[in-house]
């Protein structure tokens, strides 16, 4: 029974997003809830039917057939209502009903999902709401899973999704790809949301390992979908894919069986996914075409160096130079912090300590972890004080455990 439950859950996640995208394209994005209801009813019927009759040979085709019937039934019922009461019915709706035009071909599914991706990533909607919509509408995650990913509750997530959908209606956002001139600017926002979605999984605070990995996989899937369309298959798209592949390759090595965070230096290289590393290098090579260098290019190059375990000066000098470039085009406190760590590995603690003290990232526990690490080379008392500040600021138990181990190791130096 558990295997069947897992199969249905996986099937729901795979097919929900595809079906909602196709049906939303027919009804219009302002009626996205109708599409969600039709698909949810389809899965409910599938669960009831398959429990007694068994799972059909082609479950996806069964779902598409039922969803098509339910969609056409809704159009027919809506047509009667409008003809008798409102006496209005658009020619588009009429043609859909008459032709039975609910197209679940692979090509139309891909086109509909791509259009949905650009619609959801409309700049009028806040980034956090975009991620929530992407998880629900594009990735098929349930409300419970989204709430867990955001360390929130179902009620809060439902409200956030409702407000985001209201914004789609108010802005009259349409399911269509931007024009040739607009697509470059809009693509930046789409890539940013995919990047945030991946980060939500990779740096997630939830202890649900399966959910964390699923978030990363879905971000990779959306990125690959962009590369399959000529106008969105740009160098920066491939650079983002390379970055995600490199990070995802070390996913299983980053956490112990009891949930504790394993730092890069202590990771078991045998647990790294070499196939994903190769895939990352493939996309990184593709990203080199053209004359554009985005922050994704630079982050991917840094991540590629981290897929080489040898701790050489050449490696850290190369990483440091890329961080110097990254700071110039996309400054952020976290980039400055990571650059300081690379400086430490390349040039020693004394040089890095001077730079670290200038940052003053007083609400960032990673900052105090770095200061603790640097001071551990020369002043154990200051090292302990900084590690303690990091411990107090850390938000998860696994981070606190990792910092506590650093404090304990000070006494064995």
- Bridge partners (DSSP) listed for residue 255: 261
Tell me the per-residue pLDDT of 392-407, one tens digit each, with 9 for 90 and over. 999 878 788 889 989 9
| Cα–Cα distance measured from residue 295 to residue 300, given in angstroms and rounded to the nearest whole number | 8
Selection from 121, 215, 137 nearest residue 177 by Cα: 121
Could you tell me which residue, 129 or 272, shows the higher pLDDT?
272
What's the pLDDT at 240? 98
Q: What is the mean pLDDT of residues 168-197?
A: 87
What's the pLDDT at 247? 95
183 pLDDT above the threshold of 90: no
Q: Which of 84-98, 148-162, 346-360, 395-409 has the lowest mean pLDDT?
A: 84-98
Residue 370, token pair as written in the block: 């770095």
Tell me the per-residue pLDDT of 219-232, one tens digit each, with 9 for 90 and over. 999 999 999 998 89
Q: Which of 148-162, 255-269, 272-286 has the lowest mean pLDDT?
A: 255-269
Tell me the per-residue pLDDT of 302-312, one tens digit each, with 9 for 90 and over. 999 999 988 89
87 pLDDT above the threshold of 50: no
Tell me the per-residue pLDDT of 19-48, one tens digit each, with 9 for 90 and over. 999 999 888 888 899 999 999 999 999 989
Q: Which band of pLDDT confidence, cut at 50, 70 and 90, is reported for residue 78?
A: low
Average pLDDT across the chain, whole number: 87
What DSSP character marks residue 406? H
Q: Give me the residue label for tokens 């909602």.
A: 20
Are the CB atoms for 302 and 295 separated by under 8 Å?
A: no
- CB atoms closer than 10 angstroms to residue 71: 25
The three-point CA angle 187-193-195 to 5° equals: 100
Selection from 263, 355, 255 nearest residue 306 by Cα: 263
63 pLDDT above the threshold of 60: yes
Q: What is the mean pLDDT of residues 164-176?
A: 88
What's the pLDDT at 294? 95
Helical H segments across 121-208, by residue range: 127-133, 143-149, 154-170, 180-202
Residue 111, token pair as written in the block: 């086109």
What's the pLDDT at 13? 82
Could you tell me which residue, 248 or 185, shows the higher pLDDT?
248
Residue 231, token pair as written in the block: 């106008």
| Cα–Cα distance measured from residue 393 to residue 363, given in angstroms and rounded to the nearest whole number | 7
User: In Å, what is the CA distance from 139 to each residue of 109, 213, 251, 287?
Assistant: 13, 13, 20, 25
What's the pLDDT at 79? 58
Could you tell me which residue, 200 or 77, shows the higher pLDDT?
200
What's the pLDDT at 88? 45
| Cα–Cα distance measured from residue 128 to residue 196, given in angstroms and rounded to the nearest whole number | 9
Q: Which of 90-99, 104-113, 254-263, 372-381 has the lowest mean pLDDT?
A: 90-99
Phi-psi region of 360 (alpha: psi -120 to 50; beta: other; left: phi over 0): left
Residue 366, token pair as written in the block: 């990673």
What's the pLDDT at 86? 44
83 pLDDT above the threshold of 80: no
Q: Which band of pLDDT confidence, cut at 50, 70 and 90, is reported for residue 209?
A: confident
User: In Å, what is the CA distance from 284 to each residue of 265, 281, 301, 411?
Assistant: 24, 5, 8, 43
What's the pLDDT at 80? 44
84 pLDDT above the threshold of 60: no
Tell me the per-residue pLDDT of 350-381, one tens digit each, with 9 for 90 and over. 999 999 999 999 999 999 999 999 999 999 99
- Domain positions in the chain: 361-413
Q: What percent of the chain has pLDDT over 90?
A: 53
What DSSP character marks residue 341? H
| Cα–Cα distance measured from residue 122 to residue 143, given in angstroms and rounded to the nearest whole number | 22
91 pLDDT above the threshold of 60: no
| Cα–Cα distance measured from residue 100 to residue 348, given in angstroms and rounded to the nearest whole number | 70
Q: Which of 26-40, 151-165, 246-260 has the lowest mean pLDDT?
A: 246-260
Tell me the per-residue pLDDT of 235-250, one tens digit each, with 9 for 90 and over. 999 999 999 999 999 9
- Its sign, for the CA torsion 118, 124, 128, 133, is negative
- Its sign, for the CA torsion 389, 266, 204, 408, is negative
Are the CB atoms for 91 and 152 separated by under 8 Å?
A: no
Selection from 193, 300, 188, 286 nearest residue 238 by Cα: 286
Q: How many angstroms from the chain centroid is the CA of residue 264?
A: 22
293 pLDDT above the threshold of 70: yes
- Bridge partners (DSSP) listed for residue 261: 255
| pTM score, whole prediction | 0.85
Are the CB atoms for 108 and 122 separated by under 8 Å?
A: no
- CB atoms closer than 10 angstroms to residue 305: 15
69 pLDDT above the threshold of 60: yes
Q: What percent of the chain has pLDDT over 70?
A: 91
């Amino acid at each position: 029974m558990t295997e069947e439950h897992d199969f249905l859950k996986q099937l729901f996640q795979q097919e929900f997003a595809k079906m909602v995208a196709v049906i939303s394209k027919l009804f219009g994005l302002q009626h996205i809830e109708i599409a969600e209801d039709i698909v949810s009813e389809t899965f409910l019927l599938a669960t009831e039917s398959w429990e007694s009759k068994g799972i059909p040979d082609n479950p996806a085709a069964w779902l598409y057939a039922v969803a098509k019937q339910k969609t056409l039934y809704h159009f027919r019922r809506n047509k009667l209502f409008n003809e008798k009461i409102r006496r209005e019915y658009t020619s588009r709706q009429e043609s859909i009903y008459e032709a039975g035009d609910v197209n679940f071909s692979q090509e139309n599914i891909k086109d509909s999902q791509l259009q949905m991706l650009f619609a959801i990533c409309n700049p009028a909607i806040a980034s956090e709401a975009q991620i929530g919509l992407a998880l629900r509408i594009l990735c098929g995650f349930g409300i419970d899973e989204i709430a867990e990913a955001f360390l929130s509750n179902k009620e809060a997530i439902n409200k956030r999704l409702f407000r985001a959908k209201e914004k789609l209606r108010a802005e009259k956002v349409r399911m269509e790809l931007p024009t040739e001139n607009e697509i470059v600017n809009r693509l930046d926002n789409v890539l940013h949301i995919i990047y945030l979605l991946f980060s939500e999984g990779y740096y997630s605070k939830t202890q649900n390992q399966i959910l964390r990995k699923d978030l990363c996989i879905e971000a990779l899937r959306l990125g690959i979908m962009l590369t399959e369309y000529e106008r969105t298959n740009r160098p920066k798209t491939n650079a983002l894919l390379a970055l995600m592949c490199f990070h995802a390759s070390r996913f299983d090595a980053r956490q112990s069986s009891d949930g504790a965070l394993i730092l890069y230096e202590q990771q078991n290289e045998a647990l790294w996914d070499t196939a994903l590393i190769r895939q990352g290098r493939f996309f990184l090579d593709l990203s080199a075409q053209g004359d554009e260098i985005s922050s994704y290019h630079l982050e991917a190059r840094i991540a590629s160096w981290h897929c080489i375990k040898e701790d050489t000066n050449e490696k850290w000098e190369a990483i440091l130079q890329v961080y110097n470039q990254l700071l110039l085009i996309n400054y952020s406190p976290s980039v400055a912090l990571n650059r300081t760590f690379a400086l430490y590995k390349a040039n020693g603690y004394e040089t890095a300590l001077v730079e670290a003290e200038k940052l003053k990232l007083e609400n960032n526990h990673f900052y105090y972890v770095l200061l603790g690490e640097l001071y551990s080379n020369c002043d154990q008392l200051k090292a302990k004080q900084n590690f303690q500040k990091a411990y107090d600021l850390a938000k998860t138990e696994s981070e606190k455990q990792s910092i506590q181990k650093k404090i304990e190791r000070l006494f064995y130096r």
